[in-house]
Amino acid sequence: MKHRLSLLAVLLLPLAACARGDATPTAAAGAGAGAVAAPAGATAQDPRVALSAKVPGSKPEDFRATPVPGIYELSHGAEISYVSADAKFVFSGDLYRVSDKGDFPNLSEVRRRELRLAKLGELPESQMLVFGPEKAKHTITVFTDVDCPWCQRLHGQIAEYNKLGIRVRYLFFPRTGPDTESWAKADAIWCATDRKAAFTRAKAGDEVPEKACPGSPVAREYQLGRDVGVSGTPGVVIETGELIPGYMAPAQLLAHIQKALADDAAERKAN
């Protein structure tokens, strides 16, 4: 018997392919520039309205014109696929532009970074655990699992990150998912009287008394992590919106941030 996938299922296949396991140390590559401005608000004549009618579960604002005539971007969180204007063809993968300089800016990665920053901007810092002064030179957002060894190593060096001018905002991402021990620990930390102290004790391997309370952000932060492309921990988002899938030592991370910001500034100036 033949089975047919819906168009939306095909578009979102990359989301289902993510494995949530420990992320090992890594150096992430940079990306180019060249994003296209989003279309204005949808009207009855807007092609995005017709596209959303043909792709179940989508909304007009999920679609965006690309530099390629007749091809639209469809975003879900920070995941991107592409669809033809008549919705008869769909493909996933990265879209590159051949520039006059002979390089190939990755337009898809530029968009993913924009989408990541927009999604993170929806969550107030009052729902995060923040280590470091408010006026630090750099701020990173780290999706963390209490039981992740590399996350524990990162937090064990929190003073070094702060000393280098890196402020760390933590969001919970229990890799094992809901109704697990790691999830319960995250809830217990949030419900503790002194959350940051409880977090630090848990990262050191100490017990945190089990506790539940209303308003825990763990579920929302876990879903946010999935939306922005986190597949392992620590998942580090820097100021440019780049997602670094793993641990970096303090000095290495600072150098990476500085280069990423310089590259981003140069790309914006060139475009």
Q: pLDDT tens for residues 170-224?
A: 999 999 999 999 999 999 999 999 999 999 999 999 999 988 899 999 999 999 9
Q: pLDDT exceeding 70 applies to what percent of the chain?
A: 83
| DSSP string covering 139-197 | EEEEEE-TT-HHHHHHHHTHHHHHHTTEEEEEEE--TT-SSSHHHHHHHHHHHSSSHHH
What's 8's domain CATH number?
3.10.450
Same domain (yes/no): 91, 161: no
Tell me the average pLDDT of the chain: 85
Residue 38 has pLDDT above 50, yes or no: no
Residue 129 has pLDDT above 90, yes or no: yes
Residue 160 has pLDDT above 50, yes or no: yes
- At residue 70 the predicted structure's pLDDT band, cuts being 50, 70 and 90, is very high
**Would you state the pLDDT for residue 184?**
96
Same domain (yes/no): 167, 246: yes
Report the C-alpha gap between 197 and 31 in whole angstroms. Answer: 37
Q: Say if 17 falls within a structural domain.
A: no
**Would you state the pLDDT for residue 24?**
43
Where is the domain boundary, 60, 76, 106?
A: 106
Name the more confident of 2 and 151.
151
Same domain (yes/no): 224, 145: yes
**Residue ranges in the chain assigned as alpha helix (H):** 7-11, 13-16, 47-54, 107-120, 149-156, 158-163, 181-191, 195-203, 218-227, 250-270
Q: pLDDT exceeding 90 applies to what percent of the chain?
A: 65
**Would you state the pLDDT for residue 43?**
52
CA dist list (Å): 93 to 54, 205, 207, 243: 21, 40, 44, 17
Q: Say if 55 falls within a structural domain.
A: yes
Q: Say if 20 falls within a structural domain.
A: no
Q: Is 213 a catalytic residue?
A: no
**Would you state the pLDDT for residue 4?**
39
Same domain (yes/no): 256, 193: yes
How far from each other are the two terminal CA atoms of the chain, in whole angstroms? 52
Q: Kindly state the tokens that stand for 23.
A: 């992320």
Q: Say if 238 falls within a structural domain.
A: yes
Same domain (yes/no): 130, 260: yes
Q: Is 148 a catalytic residue?
A: yes
Same domain (yes/no): 132, 247: yes
Q: From the candidates 111, 112, 169, 175, which is the catalytic residue?
A: 175
Same domain (yes/no): 90, 193: no
Q: Kindly state the tokens that stand for 68.
A: 């390629």
Q: Is 191 a catalytic residue?
A: no
Q: Kindly state the tokens that stand for 53.
A: 């009618």
Q: Say if 24 falls within a structural domain.
A: no
Do the strands 90-92 and 79-84 form a parallel or antiparallel pair, or are they unpaired? antiparallel
Query: What is the 8-class DSSP label of residue 237?
Result: E
What's 192's domain CATH number?
3.40.30.10
- Domain limits for position 244: 125-270
Q: Is 18 a catalytic residue?
A: no
- CA nearest neighbour of 247 among 111, 166, 154: 154
Asked if the bond preceding 149 is cis, omega within 30° of 0, the reply is no
Q: From the candidates 113, 145, 167, 191, which is the catalytic residue?
A: 145
Which residues face 22 on adjacent strands? 233
Same domain (yes/no): 131, 183: yes
Same domain (yes/no): 161, 261: yes
- At residue 271 the predicted structure's pLDDT band, cuts being 50, 70 and 90, is low
Q: Say if 228 falls within a structural domain.
A: yes
SS3 call for 234: coil
Same domain (yes/no): 131, 261: yes
Q: Say if 229 falls within a structural domain.
A: yes
Count how many domains the chain has.
2
Where is the domain boundary, 106, 141, 166?
A: 106
Phi and psi torsions of 168, nearest 5°: -115, 125
Same domain (yes/no): 203, 237: yes
Q: From the candidates 48, 113, 151, 264, which is the catalytic residue?
A: 151
Same domain (yes/no): 72, 191: no
Report the C-alpha gap between 38 and 72 in whole angstroms. Answer: 11
Q: Say if 187 falls within a structural domain.
A: yes
Residue 135 has pLDDT above 90, yes or no: yes
Q: Residue 106: CB partners within 8 Å, gap ≥ 6?
A: 31, 32, 94, 95, 96
Q: From the candidates 116, 148, 187, 227, which is the catalytic residue?
A: 148
Q: What would the mean pLDDT of 118-143 be, rounded to a whole number?
A: 97
Mind listing the pLDDT tens digit for each residue in 225-260?
999 999 999 999 999 999 999 999 999 999 999 999
Residue 17 has pLDDT above 90, yes or no: no
